[in-house]
Structure 1
Amino acid sequence: MLRLDDLQVFVRTADRGSLSAAGRELDISPALASAAVKRLELALGLRLFARTTRSLRLTEEGEHYLVHAREALRLLKEGHDALIQGKDTFSGTLKISVPSDLGRNVLLGWLDAFQLHYPALQYQLSVSDRVADMYRQPVDIALRYGRQDDSSLIAMPIAPANRRVLVAAPAYLAQHGAPAALEELRRHNCLRYVLDDVVYDRWSFQRGPAQEPISVAVGGNRTADDADVVRRWAVAGLGIAYKSRIDVSEDIRCGRLQVLLPDLAWEPVPLHLVCMHRAQVTPVVIQLRDFLRAACAAQL
């Protein structure tokens, strides 16, 4: 039987070129390190090192075996980490930051369904349209719309083809009519969104075979820093909204909102699941990512 600690001594000795250096790193004496290598050589029936009084070098067999020893240690560590990580993650608390509209009206039901698969998993939700500072706030993962330009974060696509959509309630359209062209938005009451004290009053689209970008300045009597409030105003028949398709797809399906100018190419707003580093891409996060991808595909 090969001993794991003998493999570790062999690999460390090969890396350091010295039994005494390997022993110091592993906190064992040179004599114990030498005994470990001899034990391994005996078990394998191979001579791994060529020794002289002044030098220690790998034999040809030792060079070949070193590759396999490294891989064996890597796989054992990977398996151990996966077990520990899975145990901790599946039974712990997952801290999630989500946008207001997506969080309240779409994600809550999806998370309920997901939790049925992992009943020991707990959620701590932060619902806000302000982008969470993942380095300062207690957040494990975040759902974010738009391009993710911060290369220091891990961004996993959830709905890469999602776009904004122009919508209004039947009651609003019955009273004010539907715009027949983008330019007509200027005479309508447009429900605008505010983030960090900036009013988003220029709505972006793409037009024509070349997908030429175009923006239209819009105005209206209502603004909010909460995207869910904008959606509620639209459903109440108070104006036209320009919303993420995911957020209003159920309203469209149920007839509470109608799509306007459907031949336009609307602004892309891909949805991503974001975390700070690879260590946070745990088995349960991967399962949640795949679950949300499927749910978004069905929603769209």
Structure 2
Amino acid sequence: MSPDLNDLTAFVRVAQCRSFRQAAQELQVTASALSHTVTRLEQKLGMRLLQRTTRSVSLSLAGERLLQSLQPALLDIASALESLNELRDKPVGRLRLNVPRPAAQLLLAPRMAAWHAAYPEVELEIVSSDALIDIVEQGFDAGLRFGESLQQDMVAVPVGPAFGFVVCAAPAYLEAHGEPQTPHDLLRHQCLQIRFPSGTRYRWEFQRGQEKLEVATNGALVCDDMSMVVEAAADAAGICYTYGSYANEMVAQGRLQIILEDWYPPAEHFFLYYPSRRHQTAALRALIDFLR
């Protein structure tokens, strides 16, 4: 008996996720049912496709070869089905986005109610993560990043307003420790640190005219959440480097004070990006137009 398309699709999803549990969540089935599906496919083919342990899933040589052949074929099938969407008044289907948390909070969250009202038949799944991932490998349709973080084989479209960074601290901190006059002065201050999922700390970027600087600041408080850093700065724990949109309300309340204003780099847009070799779906086109 030949494998059916559902079995092959299930195998590809597990192979991409390297996890039965994650693939099952995305396919909206149980992990047990998905495991039975892949086992049935292996029995039909007479060879093992996945190596399973209690902690990991990896591909066998046969699995690697089948995955490489199936991925473009399944994309062609998806494109053929998607072409039918052109005949609809409004797009339908599922759209998975991978976005950093600031983009989710500042760009997407304020617009989600309006999006759902305009496109109620599109299931939009947003996964917020600051880690740089391969969106194709992880099964996402598109992602949001700043331009310098984009992979080379992606189509990238600027969306939303431009977001700029500011440096700020509580008036009480500045009164106690003095106000930095240049970025280099920050080296003598407690600077609240952002750590990326890779383990590296963010180097604060500055620009005045043609002069550009990156400063590896120092500080005893390190976290991976920008809103926590801003709150700590407002409580006089140190100086923070953050999106202006995070700080605006506290600046208006007098809890934070903007400093080093002559040294800010130009504001930047987020880019919505997707694989250049993948057909742009009607739902994705609608989202690009909506966020523009």
For Structure 1 versus Structure 2, the TM-score category normalised by the shorter chain is: 0.5 to 0.7
CA distance 1:235–1:92, shift in 2 (3 Å):
farther
TM-score normalised according to structure 1 size? 0.59
Code of the residue aligned with 1:218 in structure 2: it is T
CA distance 1:229–1:278, shift in 2 (3 Å):
farther
Instruction: Extract unaligned runs of 5+ from structure 1.
Output: 1-77, 294-300
CA distance 1:183–1:259, shift in 2 (3 Å):
same
Q: Once the 2 structures are TM-superposed, how far is the Cα of residue 250 of structure 1 from its aligned partner? A: 5.2
Instruction: Extract unaligned runs of 5+ from structure 2.
Output: 1-78
Q: Once the 2 structures are TM-superposed, how far is the Cα of residue 197 of structure 1 from its aligned partner? A: 1.2
| 2:243 equivalent in structure 1 | 244
CA distance 1:228–1:141, shift in 2 (3 Å):
farther
1: distance between equivalents of 2:89 and 2:245?
32
Q: Once the 2 structures are TM-superposed, how far is the Cα of residue 287 of structure 1 from its aligned partner? A: 3.4
| 2:148 pairs with 1:124 | no
Q: Secondary structure at the match of 2:143?
A: strand
Q: Which has the larger radius of gyration?
A: 1
Code of the residue aligned with 2:193 in structure 1: it is R
2: distance between equivalents of 1:181 and 1:112?
42
TM-score normalised according to structure 2 size? 0.61
| 1:103 equivalent in structure 2 | 104
Moved more, 124-133 or 167-176: 167-176
Contact 1:95-1:123 at 8 Å conserved across structures: yes
Q: Once the 2 structures are TM-superposed, how far is the Cα of residue 221 of structure 1 from its aligned partner? A: 1.0
Q: CA RMSD in A?
A: 3.2
Contact 2:193-2:221 at 8 Å conserved across structures: yes
CA distance 1:81–1:262, shift in 2 (3 Å):
same
* Equivalent residues in 2 for 1:1-300, closer than 5 Å: 83-85=84-86, 87=88, 90-104=91-105, 106-158=107-159, 161-195=162-196, 196-200=198-202, 202-207=203-208, 209=209, 211-249=210-248, 251-252=250-251, 256-266=255-265, 269-277=268-276, 279-293=278-292
Structure 1 segments of 4+ aligned residues over 6 angstroms from their partners: none
2: distance between equivalents of 1:255 and 1:86?
54
CA distance 1:90–1:168, shift in 2 (3 Å):
farther
Contact 2:82-2:281 at 8 Å conserved across structures: no
Once the two structures are aligned, what percentage of the paired residues are identical?
A: 33
Output one character per residue of 1:12-50: Cα deviation in whole Å (capped at 9) or x when no partner.
xxxxxxxxxxxxxxxxxxxxxxxxxxxxxxxxxxxxxxx
1: distance between equivalents of 2:135 and 2:279?
12
